[in-house]
Structure 1
Amino acid sequence: MTALPDFTTALFVPADRPERFAKAAASRADAVIIDLEDAVGVAHKTAARAHVATDFTDGPVILRINAAGTRWHADDLLAAARLKLSAILLPKAEAGETLDVIARGPAAHLPLIALVETARGIAEAHAIATHPAVQRLAFGSIDFAADLGCAHTREALLSARSALVLASRLAGLPPPIDGVTTAIGDEALVFDDARYGQRLGFGGKFCIHPRQVEAIRRGYAPEALEIAWAERVLASGDGVISIDGTMIDEPVRIRARSVLQRAGLMERSIR
């Protein structure tokens, strides 16, 4: 299996709108997700599959297939196997036979991102994260709220988000990808949602419009004050010391290294 590339921003584009593929790549998102699932109506799914391509960009292209149990799932996997994709995004991911079938199927060589968006999926987050086929988790917050019957608010979704962050860490996976912000034109809200997700331990966020890309990137990038703090901490040597009246020890230095590492990832994605 090939390795999943690092990405912080990933922009959805409907599979039945091939004229938008190159525009999505031009948004400077780290990855483009061609969507065969929610963005495509039932009557158009078969035709949309024929439009899927990867030759419009040199960057990562991810294919969101239809969920297991739908009549399009098997054909989506066959199509994915023939394409030069960076990953498959599996919606409604849950533990069990579905992941095993994908791991043995025609697209087994492709990295799998498990999009967790049901109550069962959250309950099985650790089993999903530790499955050999899965290389990253993602949160489908809107579908999860619908499945649970809860509000789509930070407070209502906090435990689910925390479960995915914890499961990813325990499984040794990269930090998970957070769900979308539906307010396309409110860049302040998009930035704030991205910053909130980063502080919880997420490693990136899905985009549904090119206007969201830069706000999400800024939300996940360390602020100048964070970087300056991290540099001071790491310049302080080892052992327990005090900086500006705050105790500094090895766990704090680990966090400082994480800030600088994240800053380096952001610089690479901007280039």
Structure 2
Amino acid sequence: MAVLDSQAVLPRSYLFVPGSRPERFAKALNSGADAVIIDLEDAVSESEKNSARLGLYDWMNEKTKVFVRINARGTPWYEDDIAVLGQHPGLAGLVIPKACSPGELESIANRCGEYVALLPIIESAAGYDAIHDVAQATSVQRLLFGTIDFQLDLGTQLTEKELNTFRCQFALASRVAGIASPVDGVTTVLDDPAMLEEAARQSRRFGFGAKLCVHPRQIAPVHAGFTASASECDWARRVLQAAEASGGEATVVDGEMIDVPVILRARSILYSQEQHVGVFA
């Protein structure tokens, strides 16, 4: 697992950009997304895989770091993706598709070095079955939930709410491994901000800290969903004020007994809010 900087503010949004569309790279970086993933896998045709990789290598620089989704193990492009890009100074991390093998992740970590974060995508039954081992592999920073491919592999057609059964395991595995909160999958809807915000808010309720995006229009509502609401912040302030005023004695806010877990939750809400303000503006 990766050693996290306790002061680091992790992304709430990861925007995918096709690796074969270099004219979109700068636009993606200026889109307001917290992080950008240049996609060499699903978004690039087989005939363009090699040219996209080399073009990306030439474009990347150490001042503007991006994540790269490489091609899956077993494909003709996997080894070259790691060899060419794995130690590039402009690489923030590698997104590993079809992740299910801790050994694969250990091998990538050894080849790329300790400063390259690994973000394995759990998008198969095998990956989900190995989720705890995957989460504890060297250099893994966060788990990603590939909800669309996951359902394809399982042969299911579940609603977002029905997927929550699986989401719980992502939060649990991440906590046990001591890594950052997981990243939820793509919502394909582009033109319903309220729906996107609620999807992100639901992800947050299930312990996720970010979401994958496929279009810049999704970023603002996703950020809103991962940001504590005004009412949540107001509640947290009142809890902390009441706890301080009580001098350690039992007290009540909104009919709820205030004990240590409630106080810690209130502190977490305000801390998260303070960290994101001015960092991901």
**Under a length normalisation based on structure 1, what TM-score does the superposition of the two structures give?**
0.93
The aligned counterpart of 1:80 is 85
CA-based RMSD: 1.9
- Matched letter for residue 17 of structure 2: V
Residue 14 of structure 1 pairs with residue 18 of structure 2: yes
User: Per the alignment, in what secondary structure is the counterpart of residue 277 of structure 2?
Assistant: helix
Q: State the partner residue of 2:36.
A: 32
Whether the 8 Å contact between 2:4 and 2:179 is mirrored in structure 1 is no
Q: Corresponding residue for 2:70?
A: 65
Q: Which residue of 2 aligns with 1:95?
A: 101
Deviation at 1:270, TM superposition (A): 3.1
> Gaps spanning 5+ residues in structure 1: where?
none
Q: Contact 1:150–1:156 at 8 Å: present in 2 too?
A: no
Distance (Å, rounded) in 1 between the aligned partners of 2:188 and 2:257: 41
Which residue of structure 2 aligns with residue 115 of structure 1? 121
Q: Which residue of 1 aligns with 2:258?
A: 248
Cα distance between partner residues in 1 of 2:158 and 2:271 = 31
Partner Cα separation in structure 1 for residue 109 and residue 280 of structure 2: 33
Q: Which of 213, 230, 233 pairs up with 1:227?
A: 233
Aligned to 1:264: 274
Matches of 1:70 and 1:108, distance apart in 2: 25
Q: How many residues align?
A: 270
Structure 2 counterpart of 1:261, one-letter code: Y
From 177, 182, 204, the equivalent of 1:198 is 204
Q: Of the candidates 93, 100, 125, which is equivalent to residue 131 of structure 2?
A: 125
Deviation of residue 18 (structure 1)? 0.1
Residue 220 of structure 1, CA deviation: 0.4
Whole-angstrom CA distance in 2 between matches of 1:219 and 1:122:
25
Q: Is the 8 A contact 2:186 2:214 kept in 1?
A: yes
Unaligned runs of 5+ in 2: none
Would you say the 8 A contact 2:109–2:116 is kept in 1? no
Supply the distance in 1 between the matched residues of 2:112 and 2:259 (Cα, whole angstroms): 49
2:16 is paired with a residue whose SS is strand
Amino acid at match of 2:38: I
The alignment-based identity, stated in percent, is 41
Q: Which residue of 1 aligns with 2:174?
A: 168
Task: Confirm or deny: 8 A CA contact 1:2 1:109 kept in the other structure.
Answer: no
**Given that residues 33 and 61 in structure 1 are in contact (C-alpha distance below 8 angstroms), is that contact kept between their aligned partners in structure 2?**
yes
Q: Amino acid of the residue matched to residue 76 of structure 1? A: D
Query: Is contact 1:94-1:124 (8 Å) kept?
Result: yes
Q: 1:131 corresponds to which letter in structure 2?
A: A
Question: Contact conserved, 1:2 with 1:110, CA < 8 A, in 2?
Answer: no
The structural deviation recorded for 1:191 is 1.0
Q: Deviations over 1:116-154 (max 9, x none)?
A: 111111111111111122111111111101111111422
Displacement of 1:181 after TM fit? 0.6
Give the distance between the partners of 1:58 and 1:198, measured in 2 at CA: 30
TM-score, reference length from structure 2? 0.90
Provide the rounded CA distance (Å) in 2 between the counterparts of 1:154 and 1:82: 37
* Amino acid of the structure 2 residue aligned with 1:137: L
Shift of 1:3: 5.9
Further displaced range: 197-206 or 5-14: 5-14
Give how far 1:104 is off.
Answer: 2.2
Deviation at 1:45, TM superposition (A): 0.9
* Residues in 2 aligned to 1:3 and 1:243: alpha-carbon distance in whole angstroms: 34
